[in-house]
Amino acid sequence: MIDPTTAWILIAAGGLVGGLCFYYVMILFFRNSSDKRRSKVKRFGLYLTGALTCFFVTPSPLPAYEEQLAPAFVVVIFENFFQTQGRPEEAAWILSISVSALLFFLFLIFKVFDRFFRPKVRNSSNETV
């Protein structure tokens, strides 16, 4: 049997590798687009990569064994489809809140970065000659 710490390390590594593969597939798919569209695709790809990684890595307690953790999406699927008296609500809430919070914070980080670190575009009509 595998140690739970090792299992979570493998789950995290798999989530990161899957998210990065998804990101690079999106970038390769839109590589011939214009620069403006490509930058929007990269930004959207980072949002989806973060959400995908968070989806795979978010832990949730098992209903029968409260001290054990498992990936929340696995708990939701198993409790919803394979248990007759399954309780997937807690895991579904944990999963939806974690993914929503991550997307919100990524959005804020990118907006702050754009606000303070993007080069300023000067309007040529306002310059004096």
Extents of the domains making up the chain: 1-57, 60-103
Residue 125 is predicted with a pLDDT of 60
- Average pLDDT of the segment spanning 60-70: 84
Query: Which H or E element spans position 69?
Result: strand 69-71
Residue 93 is predicted with a pLDDT of 92
Report the half-sphere exposure of 122 (CA within 13 A, side-chain side): 5
Residue 97 is predicted with a pLDDT of 92
Residue 61 is predicted with a pLDDT of 87
What is the distance between the alpha carbons of residues 122 and 129, in angstroms, rounded to a whole number?
A: 14
* pLDDT higher than 70, residue 122: no
In tens, the pLDDT along 3-57 reads 888 888 898 898 888 888 888 888 888 878 777 777 778 888 888 888 888 888 8
* pLDDT higher than 80, residue 124: no
Arithmetic mean of pLDDT over the chain:
82
